[in-house]
Structure 1
Amino acid sequence: MPRAKERKQKPKGAPPSVVPVLQKFLKTYQKYCVQSRTSPCPAIQRDLKSSIDREQVLRRFMLVRAGDASVSSPPVSLEPLLMAIRDESYVLGKEICVWGLQLTNPEIARLALFLESKGHTTCPVTTLEIINCKMDLWSLGRLGKALQFSGLQLLVLDYCKFGNEELESIFSGLETNQRLQGLSLRYCGLGPQSGPRLGSVISQSAICELHLDGNYLQCSGTLALLRPIAEYAEMQGKAQPTSASPHAGNPTLLPQVCRGGSSTLSQIAKSSEAVTVQRTSQRKRGKRGIRKKAHRPMEAGPWVATLHLADNSIDGTGTDGEQLPELARTLTCLIKYSTHLREIDLGNNVLGETAAVAILEALRARKAGKLPPLKVTVTPRISSDTFTSIWKHSKKSNKTSKKKKKAKN
C-alpha cells in the first residue's frame, strides 16, 4: 500500500506548528455555535480548514450569510466567533469582516466589549469591516463609544445607510482618536449636512485615508469637509514649505502583538513577523540596511493623504451648485500647498472646464514647488486637452512604472 503523505519534519528550534491551534479554534467555534443555536459561518469554516491544510496562520475572519441556507436554518452570528477568539487566546487574527448581516444588540454589545479591551484583548484586531449590515440606533451608539477605546487602524462601514442620529453616534467615537488611520463610508447616504461634521472629525483625529465614494455631499458638503484641510495646508505651506508629517511617505504602522497570549501563539506570531522582517531586509540589503520603525500614535490634525470623493453629485447645478467656484478655489489651495496629500479621486463628478483648468494650474504649481507627487482623478467630461494634461501631471501608478522597467530589461 502507498504510504500516506507525511508532513515535513521541522528543524530543531523551529516555531511550533499552527495546525493544532487552528484545529482547536475550529472545534471551539463550532461548539459555541451549537450552544447559541446559530449556524456556523461557511466562509470561516472553509478558511480555517484551508489554513490547516496549508499550515498557515489565519488573519482575516470573513463572516457572511450561508448562501444555500434554508429559511428555517438558524442565522449566522458574530458572538460565537468572538467567544472562540477569547477562549482560545487567538492573538494572530488582525481583521474581522462582517458582510450582509442583521446585527443584533447582543452581538454589537459583545463586539464593543471586545474592542474596548485594548491592552488586554486576546485578539489585536486592527481592521473592522461592517459592510451592508443593518444596525439600530442603540447598536451604533454602543459601537461609537467602543471606538474611543479600541486599537483599530481601519474602520469600514460601506453600504450601511445612516441618518443624522446614526452618523453622530459613529462620529462621536472618532473625534480625538489618534489610532484610527483609515475610514471608509462609501454609499452610506451621506448628504451635504454631513460635510461640517466630517471636517470636524478629520481636524481632531489621525485619520489620513478617507473614502466617501457614492454619497451625496454635493458642493456644500464637500466644501465644508475640505475647508479646514485646505486652510491648514496653506498655513503650513507658507510658514514651513519643507515641513512634513509623520504620515508623509510612511506606510501604515502595524500593531504589535499584545502580551498575555499563550506561549505557543506568541512564538508563532513572532516567527511570522520575523519572516516579514527577513523579506523586507532582503529587498533593502546592500543599500541602507534594515530600518526600524517606531510604533506610536499618529499625529492628529486637519489633513489627509488619501481622499476619495467619486460620485458625490459635485457639479454646478441647482442652488448648491453656486458654491462650485468657491469649492474649486479651496480644492486648488489644497493641491498647491498640501505636503501630505498623495491621492484625490473626484471621478464621476461634473466639475466643469473652469474648475478643471484651475486643478491643472494647481498641479503645475505643486510641481514647481517640488511637493510630493499627487494622483488626481477627474471625469473626462471636460476638454480632451485639459483632461490629458491633468493625467500627465498626476502621479503615475506603480504598475505602470513596473511595466516600463520590465520592458526596458
Structure 2
Amino acid sequence: MPRAKEQKPKSKGAPPSVVPVLQNFLKTYQKHCIQSQTSLCPTIQRDLKSSIDREQSLRKFTLTRAGDSTTSSRPVSLEPLLMAILDERYTQGKEICIWGLQLTNPEIARLALFLESKGHTICPVTTLEIMNCEMDLWSLGRLGKALQFSSLLSLVLDYSKFGDEELESIFSGLEKNQRLQGLSLRYCGLGPQSGPRLGSVISQSAICELHLDGNYLQCSGTLALLRPIAEYADIQGKEQPTSASPHAGNPPLLPQACRERSSTLSQIVKSSEAVTVKRTSQKKRGGRGIRKKGKSLMEAGPWVSTLHLADNSIDGTGKEAEQLPELTRTLTCLIKHSTHLREIDLGNNVLGEMTAADILEALRARKTGKLPPLKITVTPRISSDTFTSIWKHSKKSNRTSKKTKKVVITRR
C-alpha cells in the first residue's frame, strides 16, 4: 500500500492557520443569508473558497448580483456580510466593493453603523467602493454622516448619477475630513455647478487623490475646482526659498504676509500652523501610502497630488469658451508652482493649440524650478510640433542624469 503523505510539523512560533477562520466565516455568512432570506453572493462565496484553498486571508469583499436571477428570486444583500464580519470579528478585510445593487435604507443604515463603530468594536475597512448602485436621498445622507466618523481612506462612488441634493449629502461628510485621502466620482453626471462645491471640499479636507473622469464640469466647473488649489500653489511658489528641497515631504507653511490673500486660504493657514503636514508623495510610499496613513489624521488643505479630469467637455466651444483663457492661466499656475502635484489627466478634452503651448511652457518652468516630476495626459488633438516639443522636453530631462527631475507626458 502507498504510504500516506506525512504532514510537516509546524515550527514553534508559527502563525496559526487562517483556514479555520475563513471556514467559520463562510458558515456564519451562509447562516445570516438564510435567516434574512437573501441570496448568497456568488463572488464572496467563490473568493472565500479560493482563499481557503490558498490558505490566505481574504482582504477584499466584492458584493455582486446573483449569477442567474432565474434560479433564485431572493436578492443579494449587504447586511449578512456585515453581520458575519462583526460576529466573527474578522479584521483582515480591508475593502468592501458593492457593484450594481439596489441598496435599501436598512442596508445603508447597517453600513453606516458599521463604519462608525471604529471606536467600539471593529471596523477594519479602509476602502469602500459603491459602483453603479441605486441609493435614495435618505441613504446618501446617512452615508454622508457616517463618513465624518469612519476610518475610510478611499471612497469610490463611480457610475452613480447624483443630483445637487444627493451630492450635498455626500459632500457634507467630506468637509473637514482628515482621514479620507482618495475620492472617485467618475461618470456621476457632475456638471459645472459641482465645481465650486468640489473646490470647497478639497480645500477643507485631506483628500489628495481626486478622480472625476467622465463628467461634464466643462471650463467653468473645472476653473472653480482648480482655483483654490492654484491660489495656494502660487502663494507657496512665491514665498518658498529657491534653495528649498524639491522633494520635501511636508508642504511649507504659509507666511503671515500671505494670510489675507483669500478667506479660504486664511482658514487653511491657521490650521497649518498647528501641525506640520505629514503627507508624502505616492511614489515614496510605494503606491500604497493611503493605507499606511490610516491611523493618524492628515492636515486639511488644497494640496492635491493626483487629479483626473479626462472626458469632462473642457474645450473652447459654446458659452464656455470665454472661461478657457482664465482656466489656462489657473492650470499653468498649478503646474508651475505645486510641489504636491504628481499626476494630472486631461485626456479627451479639446483644449486647443494655445492652451497646449501654455502647458508646455509651464512644464519647462516647473523643470527650471526643480519641482517634483509630473505625469500629465493631454489630448492628441494638438499640432505635432507642440506635442513633439513636449516629448523632446521630457526626453531631454531623461538623458541628462538620473538625479534630474523628469516630466512624463502621455498622449491620449
If the length of structure 1 is used for normalisation, what is the TM-score?
0.85
1:121 offset after TM fit, Å? 3.6
1:336 correspondence with 2:336? yes
**How many aligned positions are there?**
362
Change (3 A) 1:392 1:172: farther
SS at match of 1:114: helix
Distance 1:326 1:85, change over 3 A: same
Aligned letter for 2:234?
E
| Partner AA of 2:329 in structure 1 | R
- 8 Å contact kept, 1:254–1:295: no
What residue identity is the alignment partner of 2:355? A
Amino acid at match of 2:99: W
2:280 corresponds, among 248, 251, 259, to: 248
Percent identical: 81
Question: Residue 11 and residue 309 in structure 1: after superposition, are their counterparts in 2 closer, same or farther (change >3 A)?
Answer: same
CA contact (8 A) 1:82 1:114 kept: yes
- 2:338 equivalent to 1:306: no
Report the counterpart of residue 225 of structure 2 in structure 1: 225
Which runs of no fewer than 5 residues in structure 2 stay unpaired? Answer: 252-277, 403-412
CA distance in 1, matches of 2:186, 2:121: 29
Structure 2 residue identity aligned to 1:331: L
Partner of 2:103: 103
In structure 2, relative to structure 1, the CA distance for the partners of 1:36 and 1:318 (3 Å cut) is same
Q: Distance in 2 between matches of 1:297 and 1:199?
A: 21
Provide Cα deviations, 1:265-303, integer angstroms capped at 9, x if missing partner.
Answer: xxxxxxxxxxxxxxxxxxxxxxxxxxxx89521221012
1:318 aligns with: 318
Q: State the SS of the aligned residue for 1:319.
A: helix
Question: TM-score if structure 2 supplies the norm length?
Answer: 0.84
Mark the CA change 1:164 to 1:254 in structure 2 (over 3 Å): closer, same or farther.
closer
- Greater shift in the superposed pair: 153-162 or 243-252: 243-252
> What code does the residue aligned with 1:248 have?
T
Equivalent residues of 1:175, 1:201 under 8 A apart: yes
TM-aligned CA distance change 1:123 to 1:216, over 3 Å = same
Are the aligned partners of 1:132 and 1:160 in contact in 2 as well (CA < 8 Å)? yes
Query: Does the 8 Å CA contact 2:117/2:123 hold for their aligned counterparts?
Result: no
1:90/1:123 contact within 8 Å kept: no
Distance 1:384 1:89, change over 3 A: same
> Paired residue for 2:34?
34
Q: For 1:215 and 1:142, how far apart are their aligned partners in 2?
A: 24
Gaps of 5+ in 1: 257-292, 402-409
- Using a 3 Å threshold, how does the CA distance of structure 1 residues 367 and 383 change in structure 2: closer, same or farther? same
Of structures 1 and 2, the one with the larger relative CO (CA 8 A, separation 6+) is: 1
Give how far 1:394 is off: 5.3
After TM superposition, the structure 1 = structure 2 runs for residues 150-229 of structure 1, keeping only pairs within 5 Å, are: 150-229=150-229
The whole-number CA distance in structure 2 between the counterparts of 1:254 and 1:107 is 27
Per the alignment, do residues 33 and 358 of structure 1 end up closer, same or farther by CA in structure 2, a change over 3 Å counting?
same
For the residues of structure 2 that align with 1:381 and 1:10, how far apart are their CA atoms? 62
Deviations 1:30-84 (A, max 9, x none): 0000000000100001000110011001000000011223175200000000000
**Structure-2 separation of matches of 1:394 and 1:3:** 65
- Establish whether residue 346 from structure 1 lines up as the match of residue 331 from structure 2: no
Q: CA RMSD in A?
A: 2.1
Q: Does the Cα contact within 8 Å between 2:126 and 2:294 map onto a contact in 1?
A: no
8 Å contact 2:181–2:290 — kept in the other structure? no
Matches within 5 A, 1:114-125: 114-125=114-125
SS state at 1:62 partner: strand
